[in-house]
Amino acid sequence: MKLTVQTKYWKLSEPFVIARGTYTTSDVIIVELQDGPHIGRGEAAGVDYHGETPDSMVAQVEAVRSKIEAGVTRAELLKLLPIGGARNALDAALWDLEAKRTGRRAWDLAGVGNTREIASAMTIGIRSIEGYEKAARGLAHYRWIKIKVNNDDPLGCIEAVRRGAPNSRLIVDANQAWDVPTLYSLGPQLAKLRVDLLEQPVKVGGDKDLELGRSPIPVCADESIDTIDDLQYLKTRYEFVNIKLDKTGGLTAALELAHAARAEGMRLMVGCMVTGSVGMAPGMVLAQLCEVVDLDGPLLQAEDWEHPIQYDRTGVMSWPSPKLWG
């Protein structure tokens, strides 16, 4: 087995502004595993709020190079590296390599099939009230729109999106910018605006006073959920969990988390960091188990891989070409 790892800085189509900061590039690592004529690929952005960078992820990959090149299974990889982007990229490459070796698609290898149509949300980053409405008008044909907000007039922002996209389903993501009293005070107005989901509205660790079912809008854990170990705390506070492969450290662990969350009665969303189509493709496997899908990374970029995933005008994603992944 031959391992290669490199960094890539994808240009974004516009600055992406969320409550944590502003981004102008998507900074990722790309891993390739070559076994004879077969090459498996993985792409990961890591988790910036956990301190991950492309350099730190490359260093993690390089630290286990000899073991990877000697041959490693996905189960062994779970013990070899901690959660995060490095393990995600390697795990994705192993899935892709197995698909190419066997001639079977990753969905079949994962036992989930690919019969469910996947319609991704499209994200609107933080901007002026007028900017929200203008952006929403341009996306009004999407089935789902995700709105990034902070604590600065969030209702005004959401109202602007609803004016621009009267029929789209809405996800509101405050990236921990609210507190619990703010969440509950906004609930009735959010219901009137037909918001479908609230994603991580309050700070990690500041959610102890959340009460399951008190909000008229289902609440989804994002930054609060990394692994199965988090479920016991979250299941009495959140209706949904947002599973991202960079957080879990790959599709293998993400599938385990998804089944465990379902067993606890929780509902599932699949999300993403901003990456190209190779980073999105494994998330489409997980999406077969999820009610809500946010896999719009390539749509936020000004460039992408060859043979990219295609999105129709409503957000429905094409199945990745075998030339791309899986």
| Count of CA atoms in the C-beta half-sphere (13 A) of 299 | 22
Instruction: Write out the DSSP string of 218-270.
Output: -EEESTT-SSGGGHHHHTTT-SEEEE-HHHHTSHHHHHHHHHHHHHTT-EEEE
From residue 258, alpha-carbon distances to 67, 79, 102, 253 in Å are 28, 19, 25, 9
Shortest CA distance to 10 belongs to which of 320, 311, 310, 297?
Answer: 297
- Tell me whether residue 203 is one of the annotated catalytic residues: no
Give me 314's structure tokens.
Answer: 């409503």
**Cβ partners under 8 Å of residue 79, min gap 6:** none
Q: Note the maximum CA span of the chain.
A: 60
Q: Which of 79, 148, 192, 203 is the catalytic position? A: 148
d(CA 319, CA 33): 22
- Distance CA(5)–CA(173), nearest Å, equals 32
Amino acid residing at 139: L
Separation of alpha carbons 261 and 289, rounded Å? 11
DSSP 8-state symbol, 319: P
Q: Cα separation of 88 and 285, whole Å?
A: 14
Bridge partner list, 32: 4, 41
Active-site annotation holder among 8, 100, 146, 244:
244
148 among known catalytic residues: yes
* Region label for 280, one of left (φ > 0), alpha (ψ between -120 and 50) or beta (otherwise): alpha
Rounded to an integer, what distance in angstroms lies between the CA atom of residue 285 and that of residue 98? 14
Active site residues: 148, 244
